[in-house]
Each structure stands twice: as structure tokens, then as C-alpha cells.
Chain A
Amino acid sequence: MSYLELKRKINSFPTVVWVSSITITILIAIPLIYMTIRAIGAGPETWDLVFRFRTMEIAGRTLALAITVPLLSLGISLPLAWLTTRTDLPFKRTWSVLTVLPLVIPSYIFAYVMIVALSPRGMLQQALASPFGIEQIPSIYGFFGATLSVTAVSYPYLLLPLQASLRGIDPSLEEASHSLGHGTFSTFKKVILPQLRPAIASGALLIALYSLRDFGAVSLMRYETFTFAIYNQYLTPFGGRMIAAALSMILLFIALGLMFAESATRSRAKFYVTAKGSSRKADLVALGRWRWPALAFCGSVVIIFLVLPMYVLGYWALRGISAGETVQVVWSSAVNSIQVSMITAVIVVLAALPIAILTSRFSGRLSQVVEKFTYIGFALPGIVISLSIVFFAVGTFMYQTLGLLIFGYLILFLPLAMGSIRNSLLQINPDIEEASRSLGRTANQTMRSVTIPLSKNGMISGAALVFLVTMKELQATLILSPRNFDTLATSIWHATSEAFFARAAVPALLLILLSSIPMMILLIFGHMRENYEKIGSSL
């Protein structure tokens, strides 16, 4: 790009947008670059140590989790998605809401529930003890418990895209298949399933990435994957932090590999969208007698992943309160959670706004680089990011301050806020802005009077999203928060890992309750976004 071209392009753009975008990008890139340099420069001794360390074991366990969880999620999501979109299953709307709700439950709360319910001396054993005299049931700790907990909170990431793809398939494809002599089953296998392949591939990779990054469930289930091992090493004095950094680098590369695989499947998936403008709804498959097993399947998913956890939490909360657990502690950590989440939501949305504007309205080298960097938080496990911030800040005035914690949240959640603001901007035809320019407004005025007002919905849902995930965040909070600063998430985790089960139940319930509020906001504004779309297409 020549100097003049660059100047022209930048001139056509509000200065404040690209200056703040670049500043934020540099800020979030620094800690990671710093840690990479330190880890590489750590010298051969550290790397020797890493290879003598139980690294292969940890890698094996991580891999086992990252393969099993997506497969299990697919087994749950594919039938659910098909039943709730393409059949005459009774109460379809209700099922599709109820089966997505486990998204509100963080993995560590699910792990906590499983431990108190199913551990060798847990609720199930107690219930079986008196009638059957069963002294002990097989241990829930380890691979089984970790797999189930992570699956519980991540299968909706496959369910949602599968439902969307199933709704999006052009019904005339199925009709074409029927008219060419293929029945329902053969059509599903030969026409529908291949169409779902991109959604399955990218959803499964995404879930694999989540399993790789999960810390809460694996740590409570004492299943040492990379994240848990890194945390343990981080707490180990004398050289532990160097091993933690080195392990982080390995995890980072695995995560990046998965990210690339995921984005490759997504770009290939573009070819699959060929049909244009068939607004007709597909005919629903009549289940007939199969309705009953189908209802039983949906019911058991909801019972296992939603009803039972809530029941167990309620039971233990009552037990805790009657045993005289102090509500005082819960109160202060709840206030901490809400305050820090609100501040974070505002800061992250403000930081995301210029970047979202830049990347959705300006397609140049600069905008591409900025976009790639902001996805760091999406690609990398929270533990790696937190550790890199510690490395960078330790010994300075920033170490163990609230500001540093919020900075960590910013890196982690920037892509989320950016995504929702970008979505709302991409739905607006850029012609509107050009119209404003042609009516005599400058770039800055246009941004203030057109672009930002139009992205308001995106900002609201972005803020709700960031609030939600900040409330639930565990690993960065454990590592970065000031001394004696407990949020709901960390107090649940501490109580559970120290086996004070009754103490964890009240904050867990409260956390789920508080997370439901932004969830509602998201649902409401999600609808409004659809309306915007309608207005846009009728113009």
C-alpha cells in the first residue's frame, strides 16, 4: 500500500478509532510476548526438567478428555438437535430452551454436584446404604467425573450450531432426494448428515478446545490435565513457575493447532451454503410411536444436566444453612463478584467498540492484524494468559491489584464483546454511513450519530455476555486477584476442594441465579436483533 493510499484510507476513518484500536492491541499482546521470550530464554535446564516431568502423562490425560468430551457431546446433541427442529416432538420449544440452559452452570459447579452426589460416600451411596447395605460405590474422581462435568457444560456448543444448520438446510434438497426414490433414513444419511458435517466438525473442535482449557472441573475431579498441572506448578516454590511457563507454552501450541483446525473447517463450510432464498419451512417428520423414546431421551438429558444439579444444590444449601454456615462470607463474595463483573463489562465493551468498528468497516492489513490479536483471549487457555500477566507484573506495583485482574478479564473476554458488537454492525448496510457522509457529516460525526447508536444492541448484549462470563470465571481470578479477594466462583472452588461441601452450595445457587439475569437480557436483545434484520431487509 502506498503512503498516499494509506493516508486516504485513514483519513476516511475517525482517528480515535484506529488509535485506540492499536493501543489496546499492543496492551493485550505484551504479556504473552513477554512470557514467550522468557520461556524460550529459560535455557535448556528448564526444558530438560519439563521433559523429565510427567509431561507425557499429562498430555495423554488432556488428549483423552479432549477426544471423549466432543464425542459424548455429539451423541447427546445430534439426536436432540434433530428432534427439536425436524420432528413433531411435543413441547419442542420447551425442550430446546431446557437443553441449552446447562450453559449457565459453570463446570466446577457441575463437578461439585457430582462429587457430593456420586462420590464414594456421597448422596447416592447414603441412599443405597440403608436398603441395600452398600458401603461404597465406584469413585467418581478422575477421568469419568471430569468427562461428564465438562460434557455437561459444553454440549450446547454443538447443539446450537446443529439446530441452526438443520433449520438452514434447504427443504427442497430433501424433497429432491425423496423424489429420486430415497426414504427418510437414507435421505438423512446421504443428504442431511453431510450438510451437518461442517457444523459437527467446528462444534466438536470448539468443545475439544474447551476441554483443553477447562480448569474448574478437572481440578475438583483431581484429573491432572495441563491446566491443573500448570496451576499446581505455579503454586510450587523453587522453580515451579518456570515449569508452569514451559507447560503453558506446550498447551498454547496445542490450543493454537485446534484453533487453526477449527477456522479451516469453518471456511470450508462456506461452500455448503448454496441455496438462496427458500423461505419455505421443511415438513416435520411424524414420530408416531417413536415419540415416547424420544421424550424419554430429552427428559433424561434435562434431568441429568439440569434438574438433578439444581436439586442437589438446593438440598445442600438447606443443609448448609441449617448447620449454621455463615451467610456473611457469601454476601461479601457476591458483592465482589457483581462489582468486578460490572466494571469489567463496561471496560471491555468500551475497549471492544473501536476495534469492532475498525474490523467491520475497514478491511485492510491493519484491521486484519488487530482482529487476529484480539482473538488471543479466545484461543488461549485462561491459565496461560493469567500466568503470562503474573510473569509480566510480578514485582511491580500492579501485582495482585484489582486493576490487574480486570486487565486479565479484558484480554480473555474482549473477543466476546467484539463479536456481538460486530454482529450488530455487520447487519447494517455500510451504505447508511456513506449516506451520512454524503449529507455533509464528517467521519467522526457519522460515527457518533450513526454507527454507535446503531451498535447499541450489540453493546448491550456484549456487556451482558461479559458480565455472565466474568461472574463464572475461575482460573484467572484464582491467580490474579488481590489477597483475600474472593468471588463467588473462587469461594465455591475453595470450599469444594477443601471438602466443605455445605459451604459451597449457597454461593453456587446464587451464582447460577445471578448468571440467569444477563442470560435473559441476551435472549431479549437477541430477538431485537432479528427485528433489526427485518427492518434492514425491507429498506
Chain B
Amino acid sequence: MKRSAVRCKNLTKKFGRNFAVKGVNIELREGVILALVGPSGCGKTTLLRLIAGFESPDEGEIYIGGEPMVDNKFVPPEKREVGIVFQNYALFPHLKVHENIAYGLSTKKDKRDKRVREMLSLIGLDEYGSKMPHELSGGEQQRVALARALAPDPQMLLLDEPFSNLDADLRGRIRSDVRAILKKTDASVIFVTHDQEEALFMGDRVGVMDQGKIMQIDSPEDIFHHPKNPFVADFIGIADFIGGRIKDEKTVDTEIGRLSYHRTFPSKLSVNVMIRPDFLDIVPTEDGVGEIVDRIFQGMFYLYRLRLPSGAEIKAMQHHTEKYEVGTRVSFHLTSDHKVICFPKGRKR
């Protein structure tokens, strides 16, 4: 097992009367990328700033590389060895690219120059050392900011919405570049984003936050397929919920039929069943339970919105060859042997 890069214990921060971060526990192993995702205002940036030392917590403990940061005395940001890539990159506009990268290095000049060259070639900008930040494109600035943060070989790296200032078409490419660089340097990273797709792509682990609390931390696959509560299910990917009643330890009855489910609940328990659009196939049937109320063309697929007898709506994704008109009645078939996730009713989180 690798060493712990950062550990937060019961971390709490209030602004006025509002909790920005509430009782957060995180442990991150070395070399792991943790992607923190949540709606805006969920406290993810505050959590990052607490770890960096720009805010001091009201309660709780932070350990970086095993060292306490807020135990008896508060360790200031400049002593924490935590690299940060800011949302707007925060490159020093009066310094050249190589001076920006060298800013955090206190070694002798020849060693420093060597390190700067290493970093420049790591980010693939070998020839850009003597340019000014404003002469670079957004993506290049982004990589320089990354090199600057990595140059002093920090204990860990924090990335605060680093791709949000990039154009959509650029974002995808830069994202994989950055992930490759991070993996190459074996950095321990906490990465904050509001984009769930980005979190699933970047993270070895994904943490979902809401209202200052960590709702779940898991592998991207588990976050997607085995959400622990309705909030995570709803926030990651598209999800609809329909009412159901547990039949036995394997199956649950719903208005679209009997489905098999994960975990076991006592029979007759009322539950909400999570339905993802790719779970279901729809087949036009004259007395089907569902009715198509909308059809959205998404290129490869049609996304159908369907109304059920109870008034609930669910979505189903179908290949673009399956084109049905609005108003068509349909019945449902579960794709393969998929198991659905149930949440006991009345438990929101």
C-alpha cells in the first residue's frame, strides 16, 4: 500500500452561518488522482483552499505527507509543498514562461535551468521558454501553469476547474494531455470540477460533493453504476426514478414490469428505482404502458421521453434506426441482464 498523500479528518469550515465544508473525511494515496465533482457552491473549491492553506478550518485536521497542517500551529501555504493550478492559471504576467516555471525553485541556477527544461519538455513546449504568458494560447498557458506547479516536485497537486476557461473542442484534447502528464509524473492530485463527464474521465477515484459534504467516493465505474444515494445517481449521468415495491431478494415490481436489483431489501418495502436511459429498450405495442411524449435527436441516438400511467416520466435511448412518432404507445424490455439500483423511499440522501 502506498503512503498517504493527504488526509482530511472531520474537516469543517463555516462562512458566517453557512457551512461551506461540513465534516469531510478524505484519504488520498500517493499517485492517485481524485476528481471532486459537485454543483456550484457545494464546497469543493473551499475544500481545495483548505488543503492549500488559503483558508483555515473551523474544525478538523489536515495531514499532508503525514505531517499535520492545522494541529497546534497553522502551516502557511508557502510551507505546505502543495502545487496549485488555478482556474485562470494565474501565470505571472510580468515573467517569461521559463521564469514562471522557475519561480518555485530555490536550487542553484544550473540545476534550476535543468529542471525548467525538463518541465518544458514534459509539457511539450520546449521552444516556448522565453515567451511571455500573453503570447500563449489558452491551452499552452494551462500547461505552463501545470509545469510551474509540478516543478518544485510538490507533495500533492490541486487543480481548480482547470479546463473551464478552454473552448469545448480544445478541452477534450487538453484533458487527455494533462492526464497523461500527471500519470507520467506519478503526482498525487485532487482535481475539482463541476462537469461530471470530466470527473469520470480524469479521476482514478471520483468524489461527489453536495452542500459541503462528501456524498460518495469510489471508482468512476462504481460511482456511475452503484450510486449510494439518489443525489449521486441523479448528478452523475441521466437518471429517472420510478416507484417500486420489493418482491423478494432478487426482484422488484414496478409499473414497467418486474426488474432484478442489486443488494437485498425486505419484501414489500417501497423503493425508488433508478432508471438510466440505456437500461431500456422500447417496443411499439398497442396496449403498452408507456407513451412517447418527446423525441430528441442526438446523432447516433434518439432520446425518447416517455410517460407512465402513474404520471412519472422516464427516458430511453434508442439507436437512430429506431424512429417512432410522438404519441406511440410502447412496452419496455430491460437490456441484457441489467440489475437496477433501488433506494428505500423517504431517504433522500
A177 touches B (CB below 8 Å) = yes
**Inter-chain residue pair count (beta carbon < 8 A):** 82
- The residue from A170, A172, A177, A272 contacting B103, defined by CB atoms under 8 A apart: A177
Is A179 a contact of B84 with CB atoms below 8 Å? yes
Known contacts A175-B54, A180-B148, A197-B94: does B84 contact A277 (CB below 8 Å)? no
Produce 1/0 per residue, A168-184, CB < 8 A to B: 00101101111111110
A3 touches B (CB below 8 Å) = no
Listed stretches B75-83, B167-175, B180-188, B311-319; interface member:
B75-83
Residue of A whose beta carbon sits closest to that of B94: A194
- The residue from B90, B94, B133, B148 contacting A170, defined by CB atoms under 8 A apart: B90
Least CB distance, B348 to chain A, in whole angstroms = 32
Q: Tell me which residues from 49 to 92 in chain B have a Cβ below 8 Å from any Cβ of chain A.
A: 52-54, 76-84, 86-88, 90-92
Known contacts A272-B94, A283-B54: does B103 contact A180 (CB below 8 Å)? yes
Residue of B whose beta carbon sits closest to that of A174: B90
Is A181 a contact of B152 with CB atoms below 8 Å? yes
Question: How far does the alpha carbon of A177 sit from the alpha carbon of B76 in the complex, in Å?
Answer: 12
Is A271 a contact of B132 with CB atoms below 8 Å? yes
- The residue from A175, A271, A273, A274 contacting B86, defined by CB atoms under 8 A apart: A175
Residue of A whose beta carbon sits closest to that of B52: A179
Least CB distance, A284 to chain B, in whole angstroms = 13
Known contacts A181-B104, A181-B152, A182-B78: does B134 contact A176 (CB below 8 Å)? no
Is B132 a contact of A179 with CB atoms below 8 Å? no
- The residue from B87, B91, B106 contacting A274, defined by CB atoms under 8 A apart: B91
Question: How far does the alpha carbon of A167 sit from the alpha carbon of B108 in the complex, in Å?
Answer: 35
Query: How many residues of chain B get a CB closer than 8 Å to chain A's CBs?
Result: 31
Task: Count chain B CB atoms within 10 A of each CB in A176, A177, A194, A278 and give the residue with the most.
Answer: A176
Which residues on A sit within 8 Å (CB–CB) of B80? 179
Chain B contact residues: helix, strand, loop or mixed: loop
Is B103 a contact of A175 with CB atoms below 8 Å? no
B259 touches A (CB below 8 Å) = no
A8 touches B (CB below 8 Å) = no
Question: How far does the alpha carbon of A201 sit from the alpha carbon of B106 in the complex, in Å?
Answer: 30
Least CB distance, A131 to chain B, in whole angstroms = 52
A534 touches B (CB below 8 Å) = no
Question: How far does the alpha carbon of A136 sit from the alpha carbon of B91 in the complex, in Å?
Answer: 59
Q: Tell me which residues from 146 to 188 in chain A have a Cβ below 8 Å from any Cβ of chain B.
A: 170, 172-173, 175-183
Is B78 a contact of A275 with CB atoms below 8 Å? no
Q: Tell me which residues from 479 to 515 in chain A have a Cβ below 8 Å from any Cβ of chain B.
A: none
Which residues on B sit within 8 Å (CB–CB) of A452? none
Residue of B whose beta carbon sits closest to that of A193: B94
Is B86 a contact of A176 with CB atoms below 8 Å? yes
Known contacts A180-B104, A181-B78: does B93 contact A272 (CB below 8 Å)? yes
Is A271 a contact of B134 with CB atoms below 8 Å? yes
A191 touches B (CB below 8 Å) = yes
Question: How far does the alpha carbon of A191 sit from the alpha carbon of B82 in the complex, in Å?
Answer: 19
Which residues on A sit within 8 Å (CB–CB) of B53? 178-179
Least CB distance, A188 to chain B, in whole angstroms = 13
Least CB distance, A493 to chain B, in whole angstroms = 45
Q: Sorted from nearest, which 7 A-B pairs have the closest CB atoms?
A: A180-B104, A172-B90, A178-B77, A194-B94, A172-B86, A176-B90, A274-B93
- Extra pairs beyond A180-B149, A181-B106 (7, CB < 8 Å): A173-B90, A178-B77, A179-B82, A179-B83, A181-B81, A182-B103, A182-B104
Listed by A's residue number, 21 A-B pairs whose Cβ atoms lie within 8 Å are A170-B88, A170-B90, A175-B54, A176-B84, A176-B90, A177-B78, A177-B103, A179-B52, A179-B53, A179-B77, A179-B78, A179-B149, A181-B106, A181-B152, A190-B103, A194-B94, A194-B95, A195-B93, A275-B93, A278-B87, A278-B88
